[in-house]
Structure 1
Amino acid sequence: MGEQRTLGRLAEVAWNRFDDYESLFFEGSWHRSQQLAGRARRACGGFTELGVRPGDRVVVMMANCPEVGITYQALWRAGAAITPVMFLVSPEELRHILLDSGARVVVTTTEVLPKVQAGADGLDVRIVLVGEETTGTIPFSQLDSGPEGPLVDRAEDDLAALMYTGGTTGRAKGVMLTHAGLYSAAGRRSEQGQVSDPPNRSIVPLPLSHAYGLIVTLIGMHSELPRVSVLMRWFDAAQWQRLAAEHRAQIGPLVPAMIQMLLADPGFGATPLPDLRYVTSGAAPLPREALDEFERRLPGVEILEGYGMTETSAIISSNPPGARRLGSVGLPIPGYQVVIRDDEGRELPPGTDGEICVTSESVMRGYWNADEATVAAMPGGELRTGDIGHLDEDGYLYVVDRKKDLIIRNGFNVFPRDVEDALTEHPDVTMAGVVGRPDPRLGEEVVAFVSLAEGSSTTSADLVGWMRDRIGQVKYPREVHVVDAVPVTSVFKTDRKRLRKMLDEYSSS
C-alpha cells in the first residue's frame, strides 16, 4: 500500500530527510531545520495539553512568521485540522468563521490580536499568542516548551484543512480538504516539470494563511533537496528585491498584484538578481504586458503562470519550466482531469470556451455545513469552477474570466479581463479593474477603474478614446474612473465587490 499519505507523517519524513541545516530566514535571523522540527513536536504536546483533540478545528490567523509553519505541523501531528484565516479579514468575518467551524482555539500574532479579540468576544474561544504576553491570552512559548506530543495517525480522507473562501459572493464557505488530497496535490506539483538542477532557495512573500501560501509550504515538505526559504512577514517591493539579492533566491512565488507593485517601483531591476530563475504566478490573471516588462527588467527570469482555487487544494495547472505557453496557465497537474463544458454540461472541443470543470482526489470533500452548495458546485463529483476557458490541442489551459463576472452588453459577452488587459497596455496605466453597470437600454455598460503612473497627465477621456480605437465598439468602457489604487482583496485579486460599491457611490454623488 505504501506510506500513509497524511500530513503529520509527511512532516515527520521531511524533518528526518536531512541533517540539521539553516533552513528558514526571517527578519534577520536563521532558523535551523531541527530547531523548527523540535518546536513543532513540542507544540503538538502543548496543543494536546490545551485540550485540542483529533478532528478539532483550530483557527490560525497570523502575520507571516516561523510559528505559522510550526503551528500547522504541530496540529497535523496532533490529528487536528487547521483553519487558516487571512489576517486582513474583518472581526465580523472572523466571528462567522469561528461560529461556523466550531473552533475553540485561535493562534494569532500581536498585530492581529485586537481583531481576534473583537471577533471572539463572548465566544468560548481560547487565544494563543505569538509575541509579548498579553492578559487573556496563552503564550505560544508555553506550548512549544514542554514535552513532545506523539504523532496521531489519521485516515487519508480525514479533514486536514478547513479553508474559508473569500466570501465575495456572500458569506464565506468552509472548504473541506483532506490529508490525501493536500498530500497528493503538493507532491505532484513538486514533481511536475522537474529540471536537471532544481532550484532550492526561495523567497516567500505570500500569506501562508492563503491556499497558495499553504500549498507552497507543503510542496517544500516534499522536496528531495534541503530547502532554504526566506520568509517575509508581508510583501514590500523594495525589501523583496533586497532579500532576493542578499540570499541569492532562485525561485519565488508571487501574485499578479505583487508583480505590478514591483514594476511600479522605479528602482526595480536596478539590483541584479542573477540567481533568480523562476517566478511562479497564480491566484489571479497576469497581464501579458506585465510579464514582458518583468522579464525585460530581470533578464534570465521565466515567469510560470499557474491556476488553481481553494476547492482544488490551490492548484489545477501549471506551466512547466522551459515549456510554457504565453497566455496559458499551463498543463493540468498529474492527477487532475480538466474538461470544458457548455451550460448544458456537454464537453466542448479544444479551442472552444466554456466552463472549466475538474476532477481529482485533491478536489474538496465539499463545503462545511453546506450540502446544497456542495451539490450545486460538484454535480456528480466533478467540480464546476465557475471560470470560463478552453484547452488547446496539446492540453494547455487558457482561462478567459469568471463566469459570474461576465458583462452582457447589448447581447454581447464582454469579459472584464479582456478590457483590463487592454487598459494595462497603456503606458500610463499601472492597474485596472472592470465591472458592469446596469443599463436600461443595453442591459449592462462597461465601466473601468484605473490607477495611473506617478506624474501622469492622462485623463479619463483620453483612456476612453484610446480604448475605443483599441478593442472596438462593444467592449470599450464608456466610463473610466481614475483612482489612487484599484482595490484588491486580502489575497490580492481585483476586488470587484468593492468596485461595484464605488460605482454606486459615483452614481449617487
Structure 2
Amino acid sequence: MTNLAMNLKDAVGQYADRVALRLEDAMLTYRQLDDLSARVAGWLSAHNIGPDDRVGLMAPNVLAFPVVYYGILRLGAVVVPMNPLLKAREIEHYLGDSGARAVFCWHETAAEVDSAPAAAGLVRCAIDDGLLDTASGWDPMEPVAPRDDHDTAVILYTSGTTGSPKGAQLTHGNMRANAAVSASSLFGVTTDDVLMGCLPLFHAFGQTCAMNVAVVAGAAMTLIARFDPATALRLIERDRVTVFLGVPTMYVAMVQIGASVADTSTLRLCVSGGAALPGEVLRGFAETFGAQILEGYGLSETSPVASFNRVDRAKPGSIGVPIDGVEMRIVDEQGEEVAPGEVGEIVIRGHNVMRGYWNRPEATAEAIKEGWFHSGDMAREDEDGYFFIVDRKKELIIRGGYNVYPREIEEVLYEHPAVLEAAVIGVPHPTHGEEIGAAVALRPGKAVSAEEIRDYVKERVAAYKYPRRVWLVDALPKGPTGKILKRHIEPPEQA
C-alpha cells in the first residue's frame, strides 16, 4: 500500500510509545498521534467525506495539524494545506478551485473562512487547543485506505508570475519517496534525533523535510507555532534538538542573538532552503553555534527536494547535486542541454515531480515536457555536477522564505479605484532577502497617498504579501508592445 499515512502506521508498529511531537508543554506519542488521526478519519467519514475528496487544512504549527493531516490521508482523501494568514478572497480561490468538501480551520481564522462564498455548505471544523480532547470522543476509522503511487495526496497551491495560484498535485508516491530519501541519504535521521519544526507545515518544505521525515524515521519533532529566535534556541537546549530546518531569515535572527541564550551543542545538522543563504550567514552560524548548514533546492512541484549538499562534500553557495532517484539538467530555450558553466533553465525528472496542476491541463503541459519539469529557475552546473542558482526566470519574489507572486498582488492593486497601472517587484532586503515593492500610477484627477494604497492591499492579502514599499510614479516604463518593463523600474531610496 502506498498511502502516505502508512508512514505513521509503520512508525506506531515500531515506536508506539516514543514521543512524536512536542509543542510547549504538550506532547503526543506515536500511538496517540495514530489514534487521533484515525478518529479524524472516522469523523470525516461520518460526515460523508470519502476517498479523493479534497479537505482544506488551515492551521499554524500546532499539534492538531499532523493529527488532521494524517487523518485526511488515512481516509484516502486529499489534503489542501492553507496558510492561516490568508484572507477571504484567497480562501475563496483555494476552496473553490480545489472543490473542497470540508475544511479544518484554526479558530482565529473562522471568520475569514466563513466570509468566503466557497465555504458555504462545506463540512467545517474549527481547530483550537481543545480539539485533541474533542477528537478523542470521535469513533475511529482503523484501516488505512488503499492508495496507489499516482493517487493525489496533497494539493499545494503555487503559481508563476501570471494568473491565480495553481494547485500542484503531489502524489502518495511523490511524498513518500521524497521523505524517505531526505530522512536517509540526506539528513541521516534516526530514532535518536529530534527535529525542530519552525517551518510552516502548510508548506512543502515543512511537510516533507520536517513532519514526514520525522515520522518515516520514528524521530521526535518539536513544533514552534510562531518562530522567535530566542524561543527556538531555548527549545533546542530543552529538547536536545539535533536537526534544525529553516529559511535564511531564521538563521540571520539566531546569529544576531548569539550563542549565549542557550546550550545548542546537540545540533548536528542544519538545513536551509526557500531562498539563497548568504555566505556570511553560513559562516557566521558555524562560528557562533558550531553547526554546519547545508543548502538544498526544490519547489512545491517537486515535493519539494530536488537537490541537496552532502555533509562530507558540500560546496558553499551551491544548491548541491540531485538527490537519489532524481535527475537535473541545465537547458537552453530550445530544451537542449548546455555545457558546464553555461547558464540555462533547471529541468527536473524523477520520483518527486508532481502529477500535474489540478484541473489545469494546459499549464501542466507547459511545465512538464517529455517527463521533465521546467522550473523557471536559471542556474549553471560546474564540472563536479554541483548546481548554482543564477537568477529566476519567473518574477517570483521570495520574502523571508515565503513565495509572493507579483500578479496576485497587482490584481488587488488594480481593484483600487484610483490606480491606473501597477507593477510589483522584489526589492533587496538585508534580512528578508527580498521585500515587496509596488510602483503605482494613478488615474487622472485621483489623489491618494502611497500609504493609503499600501493599507488597501494589506487588508486584502496575507500579512507577508502586502507591499511594504509603495511609491507613486507618473507612468510605468513600457516596451514597444505596451508591456510594462519591470527591469526598468527602480524604487526610490525612500518610499
SS at match of 2:265: coil
- Name 1:347's counterpart in structure 2: 337
Instruction: Give per-residue Cα distances to partners, 1:368-427, cap 9 Å, x unaligned.
Output: 111111111112221110001122222222112211349xxxxxxxxx99xx9xxxxxxx
Distance 1:452 1:308 in 2: 21
Q: What is the deviation of 1:140?
A: 6.7
Aligned 8 A contact 1:46 1:142 in 2: no
Distance 2:473 2:289 in 1: 41
Aligned 8 A contact 1:57 1:83 in 2: yes
- Name 1:38's counterpart in structure 2: 35
Aligned 8 A contact 1:63 1:112 in 2: no
Structure 1 window deviating more from structure 2 (213-222 vs 47-56): it is 213-222
- Name 1:430's counterpart in structure 2: none
Instruction: Give per-residue Cα distances to partners, 1:148-189, cap 9 Å, x unaligned.
Output: 213211222111111101565431100011111111111112
Distance 2:195 2:462 in 1: 23
Aligned 8 A contact 2:2 2:146 in 1: no
| TM-score calculated relative to the size of structure 2 | 0.79
TM-aligned CA distance change 1:119 to 1:140, over 3 Å: farther
The aligned amino acid for 2:97 is: D
- Name 1:153's counterpart in structure 2: 146
- Name 1:338's counterpart in structure 2: 328
Question: Which one of 360, 366, 374 corresponds to residue 376 of structure 1?
Answer: 366
Aligned 8 A contact 1:47 1:143 in 2: no
- Name 1:426's counterpart in structure 2: none
Distance 2:327 2:297 in 1: 13
1:49 and 2:46 are equivalent in the alignment: yes
Question: Which one of 287, 291, 316 corresponds to residue 278 of structure 2?
Answer: 287
Aligned 8 A contact 1:129 1:140 in 2: no
- Name 2:375's counterpart in structure 1: 385
SS at match of 2:237: helix
Instruction: Give per-residue Cα distances to partners, 1:353-377, cap 9 Å, x unaligned.
Output: 1100001132011111111111111
TM-aligned CA distance change 1:260 to 1:103, over 3 Å: same
SS at match of 2:394: helix
Distance 1:120 1:385 in 2: 33
Aligned 8 A contact 1:64 1:208 in 2: yes
1:206 and 2:199 are equivalent in the alignment: yes
Aligned 8 A contact 2:214 2:221 in 1: no
- Name 1:441's counterpart in structure 2: none
Q: What is the deviation of 1:120?
A: 4.7
Correspondences of 1:112-127 after superposition (within 5 Å): 112-120=109-117, 123-127=120-124
Aligned 8 A contact 2:357 2:363 in 1: yes
Distance 1:276 1:132 in 2: 30
- Name 1:263's counterpart in structure 2: 255
Q: What is the deviation of 1:110?
A: 1.8
TM-aligned CA distance change 1:317 to 1:19, over 3 Å: same
The aligned amino acid for 2:193 is: N
SS at match of 1:345: coil
SS at match of 1:279: strand
1:498 and 2:475 are equivalent in the alignment: no
Correspondences of 1:79-478 after superposition (within 5 Å): 79-120=76-117, 123-131=120-128, 142-149=134-141, 150-165=143-158, 169-193=162-186, 200-216=193-209, 217-223=211-217, 226-265=218-257, 267=258, 269-299=260-290, 301-405=291-395, 448-450=427-429
1:7 and 2:17 are equivalent in the alignment: no
Aligned 8 A contact 1:107 1:127 in 2: yes
Distance 2:60 2:329 in 1: 37
Distance 2:320 2:359 in 1: 34
The aligned amino acid for 1:10 is: N
> Which structure 1 residue ranges, 5 or more long, are not aligned?
134-138, 407-415, 421-432, 436-443, 454-486
SS at match of 1:222: helix
The aligned amino acid for 2:45 is: T
The aligned amino acid for 1:311 is: E
Distance 2:89 2:112 in 1: 9
Distance 1:51 1:502 in 2: 51
Aligned 8 A contact 1:43 1:144 in 2: no
| TM-score calculated relative to the size of structure 1 | 0.77
The aligned amino acid for 1:289 is: E
Q: What is the deviation of 1:451?
A: 5.3
TM-aligned CA distance change 1:175 to 1:247, over 3 Å: same
- Name 2:452's counterpart in structure 1: none
Instruction: Give per-residue Cα distances to partners, 1:256-313, cap 9 Å, x unaligned.
Output: 1222232343x555433111111100111111111111112112x0001011000001
Instruction: Give per-residue Cα distances to partners, 1:58-112, cap 9 Å, x unaligned.
Output: 0000011111111111111111010001112221111011110000211112222
TM-aligned CA distance change 1:502 to 1:167, over 3 Å: farther
Q: What is the deviation of 1:502?
A: 5.1
SS at match of 1:10: helix
Q: What is the deviation of 1:195?
A: 5.2
The aligned amino acid for 1:222 is: V
Q: Alignment length, in residue pairs?
A: 427
SS at match of 2:330: strand
Aligned 8 A contact 1:82 1:160 in 2: yes
SS at match of 1:327: coil
Aligned 8 A contact 1:62 1:86 in 2: yes
Distance 1:177 1:97 in 2: 16
TM-aligned CA distance change 1:401 to 1:71, over 3 Å: same
The aligned amino acid for 1:236 is: D
